[in-house]
Structure 1
Amino acid sequence: MTRDLAGATLVMSGGSRGIGLATALAFARRGGNVALLAKTDEPHPALPGTIHTAVEAIHDAGGRAVGVLGDVRSEEDVARLVRIAVAAFGRIDVVVNNASAIHTGGTLSTTAKKFALMHEVNIRGTWLLTTQALPHLLESRGSVMTLSPPLNLSRRWLGAHPAYTTSKYGMTLLTLGWGAEFAADGISAFCLWPETLIDTAAVRNVVGGAEGARSPEIMADAAMALLEQPNEQTNGHTFMDVDVLRARGVSDFSGYGGESPTRDIFVD
């Protein structure tokens, strides 16, 4: 059995580019409505796409979308996103915690400002978006999908970049916690993470290039496969994109690009 996403409404943090935009477009192509919260108002040389071009792309794909200019760290901005989404589409069925800040330096190279930014965007932002939308998710028996990794407690990842690691693991812990807390209410909360690097602005700017990176569409396809499943099959789990697609019968990932793809952070 699969769930029909036509007429459903997805709210997302970020989404101007990369995995977020690819996911929003895939959802819209299935007849869903999309509400995005993003900070990028004007084009930036290192950050292609804005909240406005994202909404236009969704419309061009045949979907309905609203874009809200704002910061996921702001309770007021997140509350405004939820109000606008409900006013425009009448309901919220899916929350996607997509926005994330990254700095992969070690402890001595991580300033207090960078530490605070990662934890405010990644953990606080995930908390704000999910909790603001939660009353509507309880009505729709909806889903929370967070783009965060499995809890890999190997010394390799614990010691690589503790500040970033704790911020991403915090996203995962919150999501798994909601899955346990609201399971009886029919909500599904789960995490999705890429096996390999994905060709995004963050990878190009932080890692230094997209060689060996797959396209964002592999994450979007995995996300749709998960959202189309009954909630009881996804709730409380962390998923890897390739595992989700393999379960759907996909064995050839060459169409997503990335010759000899490089494994992502937190993936052994």
Structure 2
Amino acid sequence: MPEGDTVWRTAQRLDAALGGKPIVVADLRWPDLSTADLRGRDTIEVVSRGKHLLHRIDGGLTLHSHLRMEGQWRIEATATLKPGWQRLPDLRALVAAADWTALGLRLGELDLVPTMRESDLVGHLGPDLLGLGWDAASAGRSVANLRVCAVPIAEALLDQRNLAGLGTIWMAETLFAERVGPWVVAADLDEGRLSRIVDRAHLLLDQSRRHAVPSSTGSRRRGESLYVHGRSGRPCRRCGTPVRVAPLGAGLHDRVVFYCPTCQGGLGPTDDGRPQRPLGSRDP
């Protein structure tokens, strides 16, 4: 699932293409939205809120979307847009200005609501790590949220009600950088430790939002950009121990987390300890 940095870049591209311009074509292929007519209304702005996109439109409307696992907004020049695009089975929304067209493909959520009711869709979110209002108070609220979570810190960080925008990549990179085991219960960590975790998460996401290739190492070369995420079976860049991957919990749909058992306090409770091959490797 795209994380807050990717969604922020998507909002920037949509805003640059559509912001301040009248909508000339709108095709919303979603239950209850197919008859909505947005033509003639100006796009005021497109902004992100955590992993959500808010396309604010003249007349007090907001087109809300969430990419989920596979969604994307693609921007094409309106003049050269081929008719075949409108026949794509993955097309969920099309919003066009005179010069640029935004194509929403495989979107996970799409809503059209009064702008004054955006909170119905995003009001449950915690402080946005990439929000314009991120400050010490925002960090403090996130720490306060985490202090009462009786679940593993990795799970607490992924809960968008605690802080918005973090996904599995930056959760893993944050905990590795802070030498915290993913399965340590969030409420068992002291306030200072939680503050450093939140600050690190904000720093990593903020640095990444302006680059197409996420990097926590400072390098954007293929295979060198991250410390642990996606590197199971490969040596830890800090200590040389093989990085491991394990599910956060015992449920069938529990997300996995990459970590270094030496740097982060030992094997996780869901890790059977068996040797793991590097991802993509076919070697026995």
**TM-score for both structures, normalised by structure 1:** 0.28
Q: Which has the higher helix share?
A: 1
Q: Which protein has greater RCO, CA pairs closer than 8 Å, 6+ apart? A: 1
Provide the TM-score with structure 2 as the length reference. 0.27
* Higher percent of residues as strand: 2
